[in-house]
Amino acid sequence: EGCGNGACTNELCASCLGFQPLDHNAAAIRALELYKINTKLCDLHPSAAFPDNNSAEDTQPALLGDCHGKMTDNLFPPREDFREVHYLTEEKVYEILSICEGKKDYSPLIRVIGRIFSSTDGLVQSFRKDKEQHPNTKEQHPNTKEQHPNTKETTAMEQESEASASMEGATGSTENRLGPVEVSVDIEAVRRVYNRLLSNEKMESAFLNALVYLTPNVELDLTYLDVYDTNPDYLNIFIIVMENSSLHSPEYLEMAMPLFCKCMSKLPLPALAKLTCLWSQYSVEHIRRMMETFQQLITYTVTLPLRYLIHLVFYANVLGGDFDTGHNEEEEPPSSELTLQELLGEERRNKNGPRVDPLEKELGIRTLDCRRPLIPFEEFVNEPLNDVLEMDKDFTFFKVDSESKFSFQSCPFILNACTKSLGLYYDNRISMYSERRITALYSLVQGQQLNPYLRLKVRRDHIIDDALVRLEMIAIENPADLRKQLFVEFEGEQGVDEGGVSKEFFQLVLEEMFNPDIGMFTYDEFTKLFWFNPPSLENEAQFTLIGIVLGLAIYNNCILDVHFPMVVYRKLMGKKGTYLDLTDSHPVQYQSLKELLDYEGDVEEDMMITFQISQTDLFGDPITYDLKENGDKIPVSVDNRKEFVSLYSDYILNKSVERQFKAFRRGFQMVTNESPLKCLFRPEEVELLICGSRNLDFHALEETTEYDGGYNKDCHIIKDFWETVHSFGEEDKRLFLQFTTGTDRAPVGGLGKLKMIIAKNGPDTDRLPTSHTCFNALLLPEYDTKEKLKERLLKAITYAKGFGML
């Protein structure tokens, strides 16, 4: 086309009079040759930039550099470049598209898209709400609301969230809490443009190439010029790009998205927070699309800046759901006593508590605050990543806490509970080794012989008294000793604790403490769950002991058979119980309160309830409690019934058991307060960590079992053994697990994660099978018949108790 100057003297320019016309292919080859040798370009002549109202005939001679224009008319038909377009609006895109469709040539629009979408200035100014709109915009898009109902859907969702969280004191809405997020870009217009243009394959390539050219410029702007501080509308670039529904395609994942992620990592924290709040107002479909895009990118290529994008989508998902930033348990002040580490000049691990994500702090929320996210948390878990992640290396990067070392444990929501439990295991083991080393060093300095382990010697028939006295002394004298490796010894028994003895110790303590006759806990026959007994006469030390036992179980990687409602784990993590928590802890009261809230009649006249409630004490005598001052004189009505439900729930779940739960939580935190438990796990995952999985898949256990002593999976007795085990009922299967592993629960991740060993223990005999619970090993004689195998095995698992030396 040339420079447009009819008097151009550059022989390599198409505007030169002596230039011989070329077809498109020849021109392309010639252009590449000239580019290779860095040929100087002509300056664009003013006659080449023509206004919209100029006809093609008027501009043709100037473009071709031929004053006659007739000979080259067929070879080079005029093409508009729209060089006067410096930014795009929805109307301008449709105008250019209409011209291109009429000529069946989309190259002008492709060039405009490539030029504007690769320019930071052009993209920042494009699709602005404050730009003059075309008068026929509404006529051109009469079905805008029907095609893009995101605003309507979000409003409905927020109303539902407010209704479900009214008893919580939760906002349930990003707008209510943080205010509406105002941006200058017209997001709906951007979406309509993308939907119309991306159906054309050539347009899709234009967007991709433009993004590749755009990202280096954006990175430079954000790194050296602080452009967001001077122009907050710079965020429009990221808003517009992220509306592209083709970002999940392989071409984007390979060529453009890693670079774009790097640009995103350069945004200042307030910009990231604003973008998160904006996305939280999107519909579920849009958030899910972004989540899936970044999950594919994580699976495809692991780069440091990815955490910024996946964090944004995750927190947008939290902000857009039901969340409750109130109802927090009071945090215990950190101990002012010096530990051995500090006496020796070492810093205490995680002294200031668990790590806090900077974006989480900027937004003023926690994952724990979210009752119901827009997208279930489970959908954020990246299973392909969990299958290949090397947790030993990742944990090392996590502890380094360096910007140059990225760890997926800083994005715990994409890891499953099994992977995170392995990270917690490494942390606990390092802590044990650290305590052992510090004790040895202190012994050398002070000349005192201290025990590097937490040793408990107990009597079976006095297990609570012995354990309580010993652990209470440790908790008072030096709580750090609780983070040493546990070794339990039963008096009069020869068992050496390599894990199995500790498992039985935990189980016996819990059986004793949860015995309804003691009165520490109440048991609900309907839910099969335990709850703190408000009028319990037991002292706080025994509740502290149970908290310590739960903490030690996590710390020493033991599974416990405890049955608490989910609200207990939420409270342990720092949230108070509220109305919605009654669903599993007190279902009868929950149903009654729900009927009160839903009642359409005259509440005051028909129900005759006041703000005074009645309960029974330990001896069955009635006691009353005023939810408000002079509660017996305040009737519950339609106007104050929500307040009544909130106060009643708070009393049942918090105030009535405050003494017991504080002691329980104090004991739990004595062991876990310096571990990454809080920053890695959600309450439901903590329950899984303590109690294990209730789903017993013995076929998965069969697949992972190893054999020793001459046995293999094809042996006749091994086949008989598994047929026998699979024929057991649920109770016998649990007894078998208890006998072999020391617990009747599956570990986190199911029985497939359990490494059981079946070893040959001699020829046919009348002896019973035996086990090493420390190593999950079953010693099985080679019985002659299947019937004898079943009879001997059932007797062994039914009457197994105690430890001895084989």
**Residue appearing with tokens 């509220």:** 578
Long-range CB contact pairs, 256-261, < 8 A, 24+:
256/208, 256/211, 256/212, 256/215, 257/293, 257/297, 258/297, 258/301, 258/303, 258/305, 259/212, 259/215, 259/216, 259/219, 260/211, 260/215, 261/297, 261/303, 261/305, 261/306, 261/308, 261/309
**C-alpha span between 275 and 575 (Å, rounded):** 27
Q: What pLDDT score was predicted for residue 75?
A: 41
Confidence bin at 51 (pLDDT 50/70/90): very low
Phi, psi of 523 (to 5 degrees): -120, 130
**C-alpha span between 141 and 779 (Å, rounded):** 76
Interval 29-41 mean pLDDT: 81
Q: What pLDDT score was predicted for residue 94?
A: 93
pLDDT above 90 (res 470): no
Interval 20-34 mean pLDDT: 81
What pTM value is reported for the model? 0.76
Q: Taking all residues of the chain, what is their mean pLDDT, rounded to a whole number?
A: 80
Q: What pLDDT score was predicted for residue 582?
A: 93
Q: What pLDDT score was predicted for residue 497?
A: 66
pLDDT above 70 (res 425): yes
Phi, psi of 760 (to 5 degrees): -75, 135
Q: Output the six-digit token pair for 389.
A: 């992640």
Q: What pLDDT score was predicted for residue 239?
A: 94
For 117-126, 512-521, 543-552, which range has the lowest pLDDT when averaged over its residues?
Answer: 512-521
Q: What pLDDT score was predicted for residue 55?
A: 39
Q: What pLDDT score was predicted for residue 307?
A: 59
DSSP symbols for 271-310: HHHHHHHHHHTS-HHHHHHHHHHHHHHHHH---TTHHHHH
Q: Catalytic site residue 100?
A: no
Contacts of 145 (CB under 8 A, 6+ apart): 152
DSSP symbols for 160-212: HHHHHTTTTT----HHHHH-----SB-HHHHHHHHHHHTTSHHHHHHHHHHHH
In 673-776, which residue ranges form alpha helices assigned H by DSSP? 677-680, 683-691, 698-704, 716-727, 730-741
Interval 216-233 mean pLDDT: 91
Confidence bin at 96 (pLDDT 50/70/90): very high
Helices and strands (DSSP H and E) totals, the chain = 38, 12
Looking at per-residue pLDDT, the higher value among 747 and 655 belongs to 655
Q: What pLDDT score was predicted for residue 188?
A: 93
Looking at per-residue pLDDT, the higher value among 691 and 497 belongs to 691
Q: What pLDDT score was predicted for residue 558?
A: 84
User: Taking a C-beta distance cutoff of 8 angstroms, is the pair 511, 562 a contact?
Assistant: no
For 104-118, 130-144, 173-187, 531-545, which range has the lowest pLDDT when averaged over its residues?
Answer: 130-144
In 301-343, which residue ranges form alpha helices assigned H by DSSP? 306-320, 340-343
The DSSP element (H or E) to which 624 belongs, if any, is strand 622-626
pLDDT above 70 (res 142): no
Q: Which tens digit of pLDDT belongs to each residue from 172-187?
A: 444 444 556 889 999 9
Task: Give CA separation, 706 vs 194, 557, 678, 743, 756, in Å.
Answer: 56, 21, 35, 19, 6
Task: Give CA separation, 6 vs 22, 48, 103, 632, in Å.
Answer: 18, 10, 27, 98
Eight-class DSSP state of 710: T
Dihedral sign (CA 311, 174, 574, 382)? negative
Q: What is the CA radius of gyration of the chain?
A: 35
**% of the chain at pLDDT higher than 90:** 30
Phi, psi of 743 (to 5 degrees): -150, 150
Looking at per-residue pLDDT, the higher value among 380 and 49 belongs to 380
pLDDT above 70 (res 154): no
Q: Which tens digit of pLDDT belongs to each residue from 258-282?
A: 888 888 888 999 999 999 999 999 9
**Residue appearing with tokens 């920053």:** 679
Q: Which tens digit of pLDDT belongs to each residue from 547-571?
A: 998 998 888 888 888 889 999 999 9
Q: Of 325, 360, 314, whose CA–CA distance to 173 is shortest?
A: 325
**C-alpha span between 719 and 731 (Å, rounded):** 22
529 SS3 class: strand
Q: What pLDDT score was predicted for residue 686?
A: 92
Confidence bin at 59 (pLDDT 50/70/90): very low
**C-alpha span between 177 and 355 (Å, rounded):** 24
Q: Of 412, 314, 450, 320, whose CA–CA distance to 374 is shortest?
A: 320
**Residue appearing with tokens 């206004």:** 51
pLDDT above 80 (res 34): yes
Contacts of 133 (CB under 8 A, 6+ apart): 89, 91
Q: Which tens digit of pLDDT belongs to each residue from 610-638?
A: 999 888 777 777 888 899 898 889 999 99
pLDDT above 60 (res 20): yes
Q: What pLDDT score was predicted for residue 560?
A: 84
pLDDT above 60 (res 527): yes
**C-alpha span between 750 and 731 (Å, rounded):** 17
Q: What pLDDT score was predicted for residue 64?
A: 36
User: Taking a C-beta distance cutoff of 8 angstroms, is the pair 244, 235 a contact?
Assistant: no
**C-alpha span between 229 and 413 (Å, rounded):** 31
Looking at per-residue pLDDT, the higher value among 195 and 435 belongs to 195
Spell out the SS3 assignment of 1-55. Answer: CCCCCCCCCCCCCCCCCCCCCCCHHHHHHHHHHHHHCCCCCCCCCHHHCCCCCCC
pLDDT above 80 (res 57): no
Q: Output the six-digit token pair for 194.
A: 């993308």
Q: Output the six-digit token pair for 104.
A: 């069946």
Q: How many residues appear in the chain?
A: 806
Q: What pLDDT score was predicted for residue 346?
A: 47
Catalytic residue among 8, 261, 277, 774: 774
Q: What pLDDT score was predicted for residue 216?
A: 92
Tell me the angle at which helices 540-555 and 683-691 cross, rounded to the nearest 10 degrees.
Answer: 80
Contacts of 376 (CB under 8 A, 6+ apart): none
Q: What pLDDT score was predicted for residue 158?
A: 41
Interval 301-308 mean pLDDT: 57
As a 3-state breakdown, the chain gives helix, strand, coil percent values, each rounded to 5, of: 55, 5, 40
Confidence bin at 153 (pLDDT 50/70/90): very low
The DSSP element (H or E) to which 371 belongs, if any, is strand 370-372
Looking at per-residue pLDDT, the higher value among 449 and 527 belongs to 527
Q: What pLDDT score was predicted for residue 748?
A: 83
